[in-house]
Amino acid sequence: MVSNKDLQIRDPFVVPVPGEGKYYLFGSTDANIWGKGTGFDAYVGEDLENWEGPYPVFRPQEDFYSDTNFWAPEVYSYKDRYYMFATFRRKDNHLLGTAVLVADHLLGPFKPHSEGPVTPEDWSSLDGTLFIDHAGDPWMIFCHEWQQVADGEVCAVRLTNDLSSAIGDPVVLFRASEAPWTTSFKAAKYKDQENYVTDGPYLFHAAGGELLLLWASFIDNRYALGIAKSQSGSILGPWEHEPEALYRNDGGHAMIFRSFRDTWMLAIHTPNQTPHERPVFLELYEVNGKLTLA
């Protein structure tokens, strides 16, 4: 058993299973997520504080297309199976991309489902998340990395119904600098460009039907979390940003889930420095289509 204060994990993603009274916690679990990839582990708990595990849910075969930077696994129940969207750095061109894995059980084992990343081959892309629109069509929302475009982008692309590949070209939903709360990020390797980060997009329908998008960036070199709202109710926007960040205390890469106490919970990791990152679960309130923390 491990508690949150001792659990090193980034990009926490929670799947509640009411029939079991248990939460399944996934995330970036390699001790050094900036280096060689081991795989993904999961944890199981009942109170969002103490967890059983780790349970290895993904370990790559020797012919897997990546051996570095295993990031941000998100797990969804879809058509009677479980699909994991996760980011990997490719061996062939050394660019990041989000791929889809599949399993018959929440604790895996997850196996490759897509033929490599479903993001564009020549893009450095990360943090893909699944969204099903009103017509029942699947989309992936992801980030086009700031290291490649300077002003990081949040993009959307249609997926095939079996989630194995993309349909058409991605659409840019917005760029990081468009939000009033973000500031440029200083990076020694990219000091000649004005860098704005996009990280960890996640879609959420408010009670009134408003479509909200959580995503992370930086404020004065500290990790922060903001919210955008679709003015059309469609994934294609246009997107209007909240003027202030929802969370700015060096935490982010969020998702939202319903607790067994029937409250909305925000999952983030904080601080944003390895190896000190820990999962944090905060109660979330919705007032007139806007989210606020307790």
pLDDT tens-place values along the chain, 294 residues long? 999 999 999 999 999 999 999 999 999 999 999 999 999 999 999 999 999 999 999 999 999 999 999 999 999 999 999 999 999 999 999 999 999 999 999 999 999 999 999 999 999 999 999 999 999 999 999 999 999 999 999 999 999 999 999 999 999 999 999 999 999 987 777 777 789 999 999 999 999 999 999 999 999 999 999 999 999 999 999 999 999 999 999 999 999 999 999 999 999 999 999 999 999 999 999 888 889 997
Name the residue with tokens 């489902």: 113
Of 144, 157, 151, 202, whose CA–CA distance to 178 is shortest? 151
CA 35 to chain CA centroid, nearest Å: 19
Residue 168 to residue 170: CA distance in whole angstroms: 7
Say what the pLDDT of residue 264 is.
97
CB 106 within 8 A of CB 97: no
Helices first, then strands: H and E counts in the chain? 1, 21
Say what the pLDDT of residue 277 is.
97
Provide the β-strand partners of residue 287. Answer: 290
> Edge-to-edge strand order for the sheet containing 211-219?
199-205, 211-219, 222-230, 239-241
CB 167 within 8 A of CB 183: no
In the chain, domain spans:
2-293
Name the residue with tokens 């090193």: 8
Say what the pLDDT of residue 18 is.
97
Of 153, 14, 11, 21, whose CA–CA distance to 86 is shortest? 11
Name the residue with tokens 């590949």: 165
Which one of 3.40.50.10260, 2.60.40.1220, 2.115.10.20, 3.90.1150.10 gives the CATH number of domain 2-293? 2.115.10.20
Residue 269 to residue 279: CA distance in whole angstroms: 5
Residue 81 to residue 194: CA distance in whole angstroms: 42
Residue 86 to residue 163: CA distance in whole angstroms: 13
Q: Torsion-angle region of residue 232: left (phi > 0), alpha (psi -120 to 50) or beta?
A: alpha
Say what the pLDDT of residue 75 is.
98
Largest alpha-carbon pair distance within the chain? 53
In this structure, the dihedral spanned by the alpha carbons of residues 153, 248, 11 and 44, taken in order and rounded to 10 degrees, is: -150
Phi, psi of 174 (to 5 degrees): -170, 165
Say what the pLDDT of residue 174 is.
98
CB-based burial label for 81 (10 Å; 0-12, 13-18, 19+)? middle
Phi, psi of 129 (to 5 degrees): -135, 145
How many residues comprise the chain?
A: 294
Please tell me whether residue 230 adopts helix, strand or coil conformation.
strand
